[in-house]
Chain A
Amino acid sequence: MVEANLGAQTMTIHVKFFASLKEQMGCDGASVEIGEVASAADVWLSASGGQPMPPNTLVAINMEYVDPNQAVQDGDEVAFFPPVTGG
């Protein structure tokens, strides 16, 4: 987890949940305020109220797959979803 630089400026991150994660979280997303330095995993913790991220969760920032440790930027859209099952 990247340590949040509390007291400094915060970022607004737009969070989205899909499929079973949406049901589990009880909503399809939210906007969260987070410290100036944060990763997608930090965004998960903030948006989920500290719940552990389920294994196999996929993460996308601005609609591109990323590693959960990828840093986020102010205004980013960060999505969390289970393994994909299309086709």
Chain B
Amino acid sequence: MRISVQSEPLAPWGLLAEYEQQLNARHHGKHGACASFVGTMRDFNEGDAVQGMFLEHYPGMTEKALQQLAEEAQAEYGLLDVLLVHRVGELRPGEPIVLVAVWSAHRKAAFEACRSLMEDLKRRAPFWKREQLPDGHRWVEKNTTGY
């Protein structure tokens, strides 16, 4: 399992390929499914143009919360492995914000766990988005539900 929060740009596909390679070395032939989700910053929200974003977090608690969420998903769905990387700091539209990838023996658990973990992250992980608009900034007040 790998959980991390980073302020440098996030390159999800490279990270996923690298992790998959390591995982193959550890659990060769054991996983039959991998599901992944990549969230990317949009240049619009609630009808407004968004020029940039600052993602604040709570160092220490954020990592702890992500670890707990990943461990819960692993236990609930019997996952073989989890990779969860979240960006913080200043972002521009088009940049990846989050990567969630899970591995399991069968596809049902992988699909369901990936979605569930992402929704739990949205509800419980301490991150806050501040959007830069053409005429100032605003804090995003709440996440929309994914279900």
Which A residues form the contact surface with B (CB < 8 A)?
A: 16, 18-20, 23, 58, 60, 63, 65, 79, 81-87
Task: Count residues of B near A (Cβ-Cβ below 8 Å).
Answer: 28
Which B residues form the contact surface with A (CB < 8 A)?
A: 39, 55-58, 60-61, 64-65, 86, 97-98, 118, 121-130, 139-143
Contact of B56 among A18, A60, A63, A79 (CB under 8 A): A18
The answer to whether A84 and B56 have CB atoms under 8 Å apart is no
Chain A residues near B55 (CB-CB < 8 A): 86
Chain B residues near A63 (CB-CB < 8 A): 58, 60-61, 64-65
Chain B residues near A18 (CB-CB < 8 A): 56, 58, 126, 128
The answer to whether B126 and A81 have CB atoms under 8 Å apart is yes
Chain A residues near B139 (CB-CB < 8 A): 19-20, 23, 82, 85
The answer to whether B128 and A87 have CB atoms under 8 Å apart is no
The answer to whether A82 and B56 have CB atoms under 8 Å apart is no
Residue of B at shortest CB range from A20? B139
